[in-house]
C-alpha cells in the first residue's frame, strides 16, 4: 500500500479521566467529512505514552470501526522496548482494518544507528503489518540518520517514514537516498510543503485535527505542483501551527477541540489542561482560519 496525502495524528479525547469513545468516533467522522486522506491513532498527539495497552487497542478499534474502510489507518504500536513493540504490533494486527503500524524510534535507551537498524528490522520481521518508521528526535532524543533510513527502506516490510525532525537537510538526504516506492511523510506541519515539493508524499499532521480540509488541500496542491495555491495555504498553516506548538502537544490542540465543542480539553498528567492565555491564542487562530465565529 502506498501512503500519500494528509493524515491526521489524532488526539485521544478524555472525559473524567477515561477515553471518550463517543467524542473520538465523532472526531473520526468529522475528519473524513473534511477530506482527510488517512488517520493515525495512538501516536504522540494521541498521548499513547499514558494510555494502557488495553486503552490503546480500544482507541484503535474505535477509529477503525468508525472509519469503515473509507480511509487508511496507520496505528501507533512502537515503544522503547523491542519485544514489547513486537507483541503490541501483533495484537494490533488482529484488528481488521488497520493498514500499517507506526513505530517510533526507541526513546530513553538511546541506541546508536546500529541498534536502530536491529530494532526496526526485528519488528518488521515479526510484524503482520507493514511498518512506517517514526523519527521524532524532539521526543526521543535520538534521530535516524539518512543512511539508516536507506538501509531500513530495503526491508520489504518497511514501507514509509514519518519524518518529524523538522530538519530539512535530513529530510532532503532521506529523499535522495530511499527508493521511489518508499513513502516519505512529513511529521511536522511546518515542513509539509517543503518535503512534498522535494518528493515527499504528504504528512501526518497535528493541525488537521482542527483543520483537516486545509491540510488536505495544501498537500494536494503540492502534489499537483500548484505552487501558487500551495504557498497561500502554507502561509495559513504556519501561524496556526505556531500556536498549536506553543505548549506541549496536544494541549493546544485539545484546547481548540474544546472551543469548537467537540470534546473536553482534558489531558493526562504529566500533561494538563490549557490555561486561559493559551485558550485565547488558540481561539484567535481558529477565528483567523474561519473555524470559530
For this structure, is 107 an active site residue? no
For this structure, is 162 an active site residue? yes
Active-site hit among 7, 108, 110, 134: 134
| Alpha-carbon gap, residue 67 to 55, rounded angstroms | 18
Residues 6+ apart with CB under 8 A from 10: 24, 27, 28, 31, 39, 40, 41, 43, 45, 46, 63, 209
Reported as a single tens digit per residue, the pLDDT across 48-100 is: 999 999 999 999 999 999 999 999 999 999 999 999 999 999 999 999 999 99
| Alpha-carbon gap, residue 217 to 213, rounded angstroms | 6
Mean pLDDT of 219-223: 98
Domains of the chain: 5-223 (3.20.20.70)
User: Does the annotation flag 204 for ligand binding?
Assistant: yes
Distance between terminal CA atoms of the chain?
40
User: Does the annotation flag 45 for ligand binding?
Assistant: yes
Query: Which pLDDT value is given to residue 1?
Result: 74
| Alpha-carbon gap, residue 220 to 36, rounded angstroms | 11
Q: pLDDT category, 276, cuts 50, 70, 90? A: very high
Give the chain's mean pLDDT.
98
Report the percent of the chain where pLDDT is more than 70: 100
pTM (two decimals): 0.97
Cell of 110: 538511546
Amino acid at each position: 500500500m502506498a501512503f500519500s496525502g494528509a493524515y491526521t495524528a489524532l488526539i485521544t479525547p478524555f472525559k473524567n479521566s477515561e477515553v471518550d469513545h463517543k467524542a473520538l468516533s465523532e472526531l473520526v467522522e468529522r475528519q473524513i467529512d473534511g477530506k482527510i486522506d488517512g488517520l493515525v491513532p495512538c501516536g504522540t498527539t494521541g498521548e499513547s505514552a499514558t494510555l494502557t495497552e488495553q486503552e490503546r487497542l480500544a482507541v484503535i478499534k474505535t477509529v477503525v470501526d468508525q472509519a469503515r474502510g473509507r480511509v487508511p489507518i496507520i496505528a501507533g504500536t512502537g515503544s522503547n522496548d523491542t519485544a514489547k513493540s513486537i507483541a503490541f504490533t501483533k495484537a494490533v494486527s488482529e484488528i481488521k482494518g488497520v493498514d500499517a503500524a507506526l513505530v517510533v524510534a526507541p526513546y530513553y535507551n538511546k541506541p546508536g544507528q546500529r541498534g536502530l537498524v536491529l530494532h526496526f528490522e526485528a519488528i518488521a520481521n515479526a510484524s503482520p503489518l507493514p511498518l512506517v518508521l517514526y523519527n521524532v528526535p524532539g521526543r526521543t532524543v535520538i534521530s535516524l540518520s539518512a543512511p539508516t533510513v536507506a538501509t531500513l527502506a530495503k526491508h520489504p516490510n518497511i514501507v514509509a517514514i514519518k519524518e518529524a525532525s523538522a530538519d530539512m537537510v535530513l529530510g532532503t538526504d532521506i529523499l535522495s537516498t530511499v527508493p521511489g516506492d518508499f513513502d516519505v511523510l512529513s511529521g511536522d506541519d511546518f515542513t509539509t510543503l517543503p518535503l512534498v515539493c522535494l518528493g515527499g508524499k504528504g504528512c501526518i499532521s497535528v493541525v488537521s485535527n482542527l483543520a483537516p480540509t486545509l491540510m488536505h488541500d495544501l498537500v494536494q496542491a503540492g502534489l499537483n505542483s500548484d505552487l501558487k495555491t500551495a504557498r497561500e495555504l502554507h502561509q495559513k498553516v504556519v501561524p496556526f501551527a505556531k500556536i498549536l506548538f506553543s505548549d506541549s502537544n496536544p494541549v493546544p490542540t485539545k484546547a481548540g477541540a474544546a472551543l469548537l465543542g467537540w470534546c473536553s480539553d482534558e489531558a493526562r498528567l504529566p500533561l494538563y489542561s490549557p490555561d486561559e492565555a493559551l485558550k485565547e491564542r488558540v481561539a484567535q487562530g481558529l477565528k483567523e482560519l474561519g473555524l470559530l465565529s
